[in-house]
């Protein structure tokens, strides 16, 4: 028990305590030269530790390893082993000295009678039973040991957090374990990595036992290779605590050879002095996210730390909670401060006693000098001084040893000043001993100094597991734009990155797009929304909006394969934000071949990590557009050559189907034509319109001067509050057409003309067709990544047969590829309700 379990006060086992004390005795502080480890081991063996030299050297090495100790206690010089479990060099080659933290926090005041000393093994030396630690070292660096019938395994923590927790306990002695967790968030491992969930941490802190899940840090990157196509790779940069890197690589290779993990082409260890980097190169058809999940499941890349918070309290093993750990330490620290204060008080009183004797001598100097001169020997002079002047033996000795130079007026003044200072110090020390709050103030001041000097940022990230406090509870529900390029780069930006601009201006660059890349998908949503990603294969994936990394206007974004298990040949063709999965709402899906179907939104509430089938597709067909709709709504679909069809979403026109179904025909297309878009017209607006006949409103002009920036005057009967069908062409022209001009038809018809094109020679085509209202704002994006934000009111109202006005100036080879409607502010929505 004595050698395997740490003391709850200083967190050390006897061998560690003896090593540190021996180094302190040798004067190996952080500002002195290094000394051979063999010298230190010899000192420890000869004076304090009657065991083998291997045990002592192994313990010394571990205290110097930055991957074993969160705050190493010894500064090592030479080969002290590695995270690959390489052995350290022999002790005759390596050198060591104490770290500054060790001197400041563990060995300070050890000569001030702060701790008890006992005889060593042969009674020739004295050694401390505990070190006067100023910090909870047991929690800082952790400990593990197996005794007889019991074991301990305490994880390391962050110094700054521990000190914050201790300060909180000083101010509130009744603080609970849960309240302490607001300051001490969880273990902080020297190797970084992640901790999954807080439930196990809470269990360990409140009961003394818990299994904490650790996970290494791995990212999916695209490796560019010369003369070969780019490949995806998993890059591991941090490992769980006490995971052997070489053994991990060996385990992965073994699993690949046994075909237990598929999709790995090559494994390389590219670690160097700058940090760890394990590169796992993937095969072309591999799903990076699936491979990574398999690595977590089958290798030590994810491991458990079985916390068992056992330590010696007054020589007895006890399982402690977080609160009890700090309480035991705080009680020890109070005792240490009181012992130090009593020692300083005794020394001050002894010194002051001598000074009082000297002051008596200075007051009657001539008589005392005469007495000493006439005394036959020193004992007689001492006796006469004691009897004649009422001095003590110590005072008489001090007077007899006094040098002649101290009889000068200046030296006499110094003695008086020192006496006055000591009187103040004695009063202060007595006050400290009389008042516990003074002791606590001193403890707080000292630990705050240590925090300022030695605290480092947290290395281990604690992530919230499923079923716990959700990340979104900690994230503001801001409006955001999400962009996805053709080559699969995704990013999120705040909507206020782009302020509204006038019609026919150039817009702002929204993405640093490569020459061969274009912005393909573009939507606006709120950070708390679920974002559904539909691929051309008819598979749907899901992410929370806030999980998509934020990028600046000019950044390229993050490869979507790092976030979703999408194979290389699969493409995202539609993105739908969802705030709530309701059974009263449907997803309407339209394929490239013209098949349309609607499925309950609730069917997509639990999407697996590797996706879910949303629609069955015919050979060669692709899923292209997905929109949310209710059963009373209607759908409007546009084609590249400017045709549009409008029909209801009710069960007669479009009956609800399950996920794995194909759908029905939506629109009859002319040769060479294709579908370009679909939008939903809400029922509340639909009911207010007279859409039973094909309404042509003669008051609305068919054409307009395209360069003219003045809006058309509002025309009576043109439904000036909307909604409108927003028609935008690839060439940068647009208009608002009253929905009433698109009469309701039966599904699978040819539809009506939606727009004329300004100049067919430029091969202008319809880019998109959306339903908008007068107070909406839209954002348009070109294939070069230029975004413009514009108020709908800036775009003229025209008839179906008009050509529209210029909405965005485009470079010669640029074209509009997408339009998104900016969602209203959450505050606006609340006001509306």
Same domain, 678 and 606: yes
Same domain, 379 and 427: yes
Angle, helix 322-363 to helix 436-454, in steps of 10 degrees: 110
Would residue 247 count as lying in a domain?
yes
Same domain, 416 and 499: no
Query: How many structural domains are present in the chain?
Result: 4
Same domain, 373 and 422: yes
Q: What gap in Å lies between CA 395 and CA 390, rounded to an integer?
A: 10
List the strands of the sheet with 558-559, edge to edge.
Answer: 519-526, 479-485, 489-494, 558-559
Same domain, 561 and 709: yes
pLDDT of residue 709: 35
Would residue 50 count as lying in a domain?
yes
Q: What is the CATH number of the domain that holds 31?
A: 3.90.199.10
pLDDT of residue 708: 38
Q: Which of 454, 482, 508 is the last residue of a domain?
A: 454
Burial grade of 275 (CB within 10 A; 0-12, 13-18, 19 or more): exposed
Q: What gap in Å lies between CA 391 and CA 407, rounded to an integer?
A: 19
Integer angstrom CA distances of residue 33 from 29, 78, 95, 98? 8, 14, 9, 10
Structural domain of 76: 14-133
pLDDT of residue 514: 57
In the block, tokens 């348009």 appear at: 780
Give the pairing of strands 586-591 and 595-600.
Answer: antiparallel
Query: pLDDT means per 10 residues in the chain (833 residues)?
Result: 89 95 95 96 95 94 95 96 94 96 94 94 94 95 92 95 95 93 94 92 93 93 79 92 94 93 92 92 84 90 94 94 95 95 95 91 87 90 90 91 81 90 94 93 95 94 63 70 85 78 66 62 85 92 88 82 82 90 91 92 87 90 92 92 92 90 91 89 73 41 40 40 86 91 91 83 80 84 85 90 90 84 50 36
Q: Which of 399, 419, 454 is the last residue of a domain?
A: 454
Token readout for 669 is 């297309």
pLDDT of residue 286: 82
Q: At 483, is the secondary structure helix, strand, or coil?
A: strand
Burial string for 590-628 (b: 16+ CB within 10 Å, else e) reads: bbbbbbbbbbbbebbeebeeebbebbbbeeebebbbbbb
Q: At 492, is the secondary structure helix, strand, or coil?
A: strand
Q: Which of 105, 133, 161 is the last residue of a domain?
A: 133
Q: What is the CATH number of the domain that holds 263?
A: 3.30.1360.40
Residues facing residue 493 across a β-bridge = 481
Would residue 33 count as lying in a domain?
yes
Helices then strands, each counted (H, E), the chain: 18, 41
DSSP string covering 272-319? BTTB--EEEEEPTT--HHHHHHHHHHHSTTEEEEEEE-EEEETTEEEE
Same domain, 534 and 588: yes
Q: What gap in Å lies between CA 272 and CA 275, rounded to an integer?
A: 6
pLDDT of residue 65: 95
List the catalytic residue out of 93, 343, 546, 586: 93
Residues facing residue 771 across a β-bridge = 725
Same domain, 448 and 477: no
Close Cβ partners of 750 (under 8 Å, ≥ 6 residues apart): 643, 645, 667, 668, 670
Same domain, 238 and 367: no
pLDDT of residue 700: 46
93 labelled catalytic: yes
pLDDT of residue 16: 96
| pTM recorded for the entire structure | 0.67
Same domain, 683 and 709: yes
Give the pairing of strands 461-463 and 194-196.
Answer: parallel
Q: Which of 672, 805, 787 is nearest to 726 (CA)?
A: 805
Same domain, 601 and 648: yes
In the block, tokens 């230190």 appear at: 40
Q: Which helix (H) or strand (E) holds 493?
A: strand 489-494
Q: What is the CATH number of the domain that holds 636?
A: 2.120.10.90
Would residue 3 count as lying in a domain?
no
Would residue 268 count as lying in a domain?
yes
Would residue 767 count as lying in a domain?
yes
Q: Which of 698, 741, 711, 710 is nearest to 723 (CA)?
A: 741
Would residue 318 count as lying in a domain?
no
Same domain, 287 and 356: no
Would residue 236 count as lying in a domain?
yes
In the block, tokens 């999407």 appear at: 607
Same domain, 438 and 486: no
In the block, tokens 């003394």 appear at: 208
């Amino acid at each position: 028990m004595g050698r395997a379990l740490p003391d709850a006060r200083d967190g050390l086992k006897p061998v560690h305590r003896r090593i540190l004390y021996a180094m302190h005795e040798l004067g190996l502080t952080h500002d002195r030269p290094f000394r051979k480890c063999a010298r230190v081991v010899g000192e420890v063996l000869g004076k304090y530790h009657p065991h083998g030299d291997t045990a002592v050297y192994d313990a010394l090495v571990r205290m110097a390893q930055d991957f074993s100790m969160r705050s190493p206690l010894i500064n090592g010089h030479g080969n002290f082993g590695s995270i690959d479990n390489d052995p350290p060099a022999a002790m005759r080659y390596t050198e060591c000295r104490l770290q500054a933290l060790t001197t400041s926090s563990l060995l300070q005041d050890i000569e001030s009678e702060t701790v008890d000393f006992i005889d060593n093994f042969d009674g020739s030396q004295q050694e401390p039973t505990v070190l006067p630690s100023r910090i909870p070292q047991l929690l800082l660096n952790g400990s593990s040991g197996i005794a007889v019938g019991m074991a301990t395994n305490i994880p390391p923590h962050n110094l700054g957090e521990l000190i914050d927790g201790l300060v909180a306990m000083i101010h509130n002695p009744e603080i609970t374990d849960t309240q302490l967790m607001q300051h001490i968030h969880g273990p902080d491992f020297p190797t970084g990595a992640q901790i999954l969930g807080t439930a196990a941490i809470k269990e360990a802190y409140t009961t003394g036992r818990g299994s904490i899940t650790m996970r290494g840090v791995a990212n999916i990157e695209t490796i560019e290779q010369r003369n070969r196509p780019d490949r995806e790779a998993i890059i591991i940069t941090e490992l769980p605590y006490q995971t052997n890197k070489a053994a991990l690589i060996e385990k992965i290779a073994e699993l690949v050879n046994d075909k237990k993990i598929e999709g790995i082409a090559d494994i390389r260890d590219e670690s160097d002095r700058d940090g760890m980097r394990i590169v796992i190169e993937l095969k072309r058809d591999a799903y990076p996210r699936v491979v990574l999940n398999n690595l977590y499941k089958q290798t030590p890349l994810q491991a458990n730390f079985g916390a068992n918070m056992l330590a010696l309290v007054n020589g007895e093993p006890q399982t402690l909670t977080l609160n009890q750990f700090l309480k035991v330490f705080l009680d020890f620290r109070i005792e240490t401060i009181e012992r130090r204060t009593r020692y300083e008080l005794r020394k001050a009183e002894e010194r002051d006693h001598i000074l009082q004797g000297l002051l008596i001598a200075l007051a009657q100097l001539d008589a005392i000098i005469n007495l000493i001169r006439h005394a036959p020997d020193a004992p007689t002079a001492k006796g006469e001084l004691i009897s004649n002047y009422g001095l003590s033996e110590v005072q008489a000795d001090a007077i007899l040893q006094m040098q002649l130079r101290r009889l000068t007026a200046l030296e006499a003044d110094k003695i008086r000043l020192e006496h006055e200072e000591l009187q103040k110090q004695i009063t202060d020390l007595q006050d400290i001993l009389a008042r516990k709050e003074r002791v606590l103030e001193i403890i707080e001041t000292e630990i705050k100094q240590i925090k300022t000097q030695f605290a480092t940022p947290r290395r281990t990230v604690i992530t919230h597991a499923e079923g716990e406090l959700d990340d979104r509870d900690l994230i503001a529900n801001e409006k955001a734009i999400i962009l996805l390029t053709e080559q699969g780069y995704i990013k999120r930006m705040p909507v206020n990155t782009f302020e509204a601009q006038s019609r026919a201006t150039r817009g702002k660059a929204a993405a640093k797009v490569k020459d061969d890349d274009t912005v393909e998908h573009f939507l606006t949503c709120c950070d708390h929304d679920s974002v559904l990603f539909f691929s051309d294969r008819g598979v749907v994936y899901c992410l929370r909006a806030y999980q998509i990394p934020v990028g600046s206007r000019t950044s390229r974004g993050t490869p979507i394969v790092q976030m979703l298990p999408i194979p290389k040949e699969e493409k995202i063709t539609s993105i739908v934000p969802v705030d709530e999965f309701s059974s009263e709402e449907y997803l309407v899906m339209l394929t490239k071949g013209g098949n349309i179907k609607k499925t309950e939104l609730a069917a997509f509430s639990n999407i697996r990590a590797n996706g879910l089938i949303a629609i069955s597709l015919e050979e060669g067909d692709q899923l292209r557009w997905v929109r949310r709709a209710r059963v009373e709504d209607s759908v409007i679909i546009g084609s590249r050559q400017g045709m549009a069809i409008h029909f209801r979403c009710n069960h007669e026109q479009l009956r609800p189907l399950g996920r794995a179904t194909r759908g029905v025909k939506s629109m009859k297309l002319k040769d060479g034509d294709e579908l370009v878009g679909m939008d939903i017209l809400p029922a509340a607006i639909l009911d207010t319109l007279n859409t039973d006949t094909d309404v042509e409103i003669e008051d609305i002009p068919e054409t307009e001067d395209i360069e003219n920036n003045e809006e058309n005057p509002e025309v009576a009967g043109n439904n000036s509050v909307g909604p409108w069908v927003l028609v935008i062409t690839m060439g940068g022209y647009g208009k608002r057409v009253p929905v009433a001009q698109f009469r309701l038809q039966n599904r699978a018809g040819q539809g009506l003309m939606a727009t004329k094109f300004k100049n067919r020679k430029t091969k202008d085509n319809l880019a998109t067709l959306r339903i908008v209202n007068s107070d909406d704002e839209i954002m348009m994006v070109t294939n070069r990544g230029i975004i413009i934000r514009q108020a709908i009111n800036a775009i003229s109202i025209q008839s179906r047969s008009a050509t529209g006005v210029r909405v965005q100036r485009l470079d010669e080879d640029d074209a509009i590829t997408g339009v998104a409607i900016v969602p209203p502010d959450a505050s606006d929505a609340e006001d509306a309700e």
